[in-house]
Amino acid sequence: MGSIPYALGRQLEFFCKKETTPGGNFGEAAQEYFVADDAAKITASDMNITVERLDRMDSSTTRSTIERVTGKQEVSWSCESYILPAGGSDAPDIDPLIRGAFGGEFGGGAAETYELTDGTDEIPSIHMARGVSGVFREDVFGAWVEEFSLSVSGGDIPKMSFSGGAMDYCLTGTSKANGAGSTSTALTVDGGDGVNFMKGSPVNVNATDRVVTGVDTDALTLGVAADWSDEDVIVPVFPATGASNFNGNPTAATAGSITIDGASYDVMAFDVTLTNGIKALGDGAFVAGATDYIPMVRSVSGNVTIRLRKDHLKAFSRRNKFVSNLKTFPATPIVVTLGDESGKRQVITLQYAELDFGNITIPEVEEAVLNLPFKALGSGTGKNEITFAWNQ
pLDDT value at position 111?
67
Q: Is 33 exposed, middle or buried (0-12, 13-18, 19+ CB in 10 A)?
A: middle
Closest to 288 measured CA to CA, from 144, 159, 170: 170
- Predicted confidence band at 9 (pLDDT cuts at 50, 70, 90)? confident
pLDDT of 319 above 50:
yes
DSSP secondary structure code for residue 252 in this structure: P
pLDDT in tens, 160-177: 999 999 999 999 999 999
Q: Is 164 exposed, middle or buried (0-12, 13-18, 19+ CB in 10 A)?
A: buried
pLDDT value at position 297?
93
- Taking the C-alpha atoms of residue 11 and residue 162, their distance in angstroms, rounded to an integer, is 21
- Predicted confidence band at 136 (pLDDT cuts at 50, 70, 90)? very high
pLDDT in tens, 239-251: 887 544 556 788 8
pLDDT in tens, 340-376: 888 888 999 999 999 888 888 888 777 888 888 999 9
- 10-25 average pLDDT score: 93
pLDDT of 256 above 90:
no
- Taking the C-alpha atoms of residue 199 and residue 221, their distance in angstroms, rounded to an integer, is 9
What's the one-letter identity of residue 223? G
Higher pLDDT, 287 or 320: 287
pLDDT in tens, 202-220: 999 998 899 999 999 999 9
pLDDT in tens, 110-132: 567 899 988 766 789 999 999 99
Average pLDDT, the chain: 87
pLDDT value at position 204?
93
- Predicted confidence band at 224 (pLDDT cuts at 50, 70, 90)? confident
DSSP assignment string, 266-330:
-EEEEEEEEE--EEEE---TT-SS--EEEE---EEEEEEEEE--GGGHHHHHGGG-EETTEE---
Higher pLDDT, 328 or 376: 376
Please report, for the chain, the start and end positions of each structural domain, with discontinuous segments joined by +: 9-52+69-245, 256-272+297-389
Closest to 199 measured CA to CA, from 214, 218, 185: 214
Do you know the residue count of the chain?
392
Q: pLDDT > 70: what percent of the chain? A: 91
- Predicted confidence band at 92 (pLDDT cuts at 50, 70, 90)? confident
Higher pLDDT, 311 or 348: 348
Name the 3-class secondary structure at 10: helix
